[in-house]
Amino acid sequence: MNLLITGAWSGAKENIEKLEQLGHKVCFMQNEKDELPCDYDWVEGVVCNGLFLAHDIKNFSNLRYIQLTSAGMDRVPMDYVQEHKIEIYNARGVYSVPMAEYAIAGVLQLYKKQEFFLHNQKLHKWEKNRNLLELCGKNVCIIGCGDVGRECAKRFKAFGCVVNGVNRTLRQIEEFDKIYSLDDIALAISEADVIVVSIALTEQTRHLINAEVIAKLKPQAVIVNIARGAVIDSSALIDNISNIGGAVLDVFDEEPLDENSRLWDIPNVIITPHNSFVSEMNSERLTKTILKNIRLINI
């Protein structure tokens, strides 16, 4: 198979020889926005992230295999992929562990008032805070019960939480105490102390967390978004953030987040730059996933 591989796979160059030994011809391009180093019709398979944002997938007339370096598929025209029976694989499971750890860390930062203590440390000021919260016993609602959601569930369970899920497919999942359908999301989050958003962005889930849903949250509820920014209506969140315990936001409608956004200055909001997936273990996991999937393809 003629493979176009981009720099979105950090281990690409180190594995080109291995791919060639498997019988593939490989062409490498570092930046996905650049001009292709080969003809479009040469390409039969790609390993990429946002390649089709810069290059129309229709130009790849012989494309039959896509391997994404991301877990999400929202940067790919899926209607076209399905219509043309192109095999597609994502980086399922590669980033789930660090993202789950991030969710726990963010909630604990708010619960344990870390901003207060770090501020006082800089001032060399000894001052107790009597308003710390305990995670044990809290009700956690995880919206999206895929790999990331299940890894989150395991870790919140370890802290002694009750963990419920909201999922597009209504079925029992081992790591969760109860699963709600998307239609029952308002009920599910009304019972929750912590809400973790880990569901894929689709037209069905765009602004799934809107003003009506946010109005159902408990006064001390914390919402964590490690999915895609557009799953939450950011305007509605900003307007209602003072009514809840806080938010941990790693993703946004537009990235980078505008420096004039009101979110930067809200005291009970933690902002990170789409960084929750980062781990020293990702490269190894991604390489294993890519090589495993490529071996499934008939050259």
Residues marked as catalytic: 228, 255, 274
Q: Which tokens is 87 given?
A: 């095999």
Q: Is 274 left (phi over 0), alpha (psi -120 to 50) or beta?
A: left
- Scanning the structure block, which residue is given the tokens 């895609």? 228
String of DSSP letters for 201-230: P-TTTTT-B-HHHHTTS-TT-EEEE-S-GG
- Scanning the structure block, which residue is given the tokens 């860390």? 105
In this structure, are strands 2-6 and 25-29 parallel, antiparallel, or unpaired?
A: parallel
- Scanning the structure block, which residue is given the tokens 């497919």? 169
In this structure, are strands 2-6 and 269-271 parallel, antiparallel, or unpaired?
A: unpaired
**Phi, psi (5° rounding) for residue 128?**
-80, 155
In this structure, are strands 194-197 and 178-181 parallel, antiparallel, or unpaired?
A: unpaired
| CA 12 – CA 20 distance, rounded (Å) | 12
- Say which DSSP state 217 is in: S
H helices of 84-210, in order, are 96-111, 114-122, 147-158, 185-190
SS3 48: strand
CB 162 within 8 Å of CB 148: no
Cα dihedral value 82, 87, 88, 93, nearest 10:
130
Q: Which tokens is 268 given?
A: 């009970």
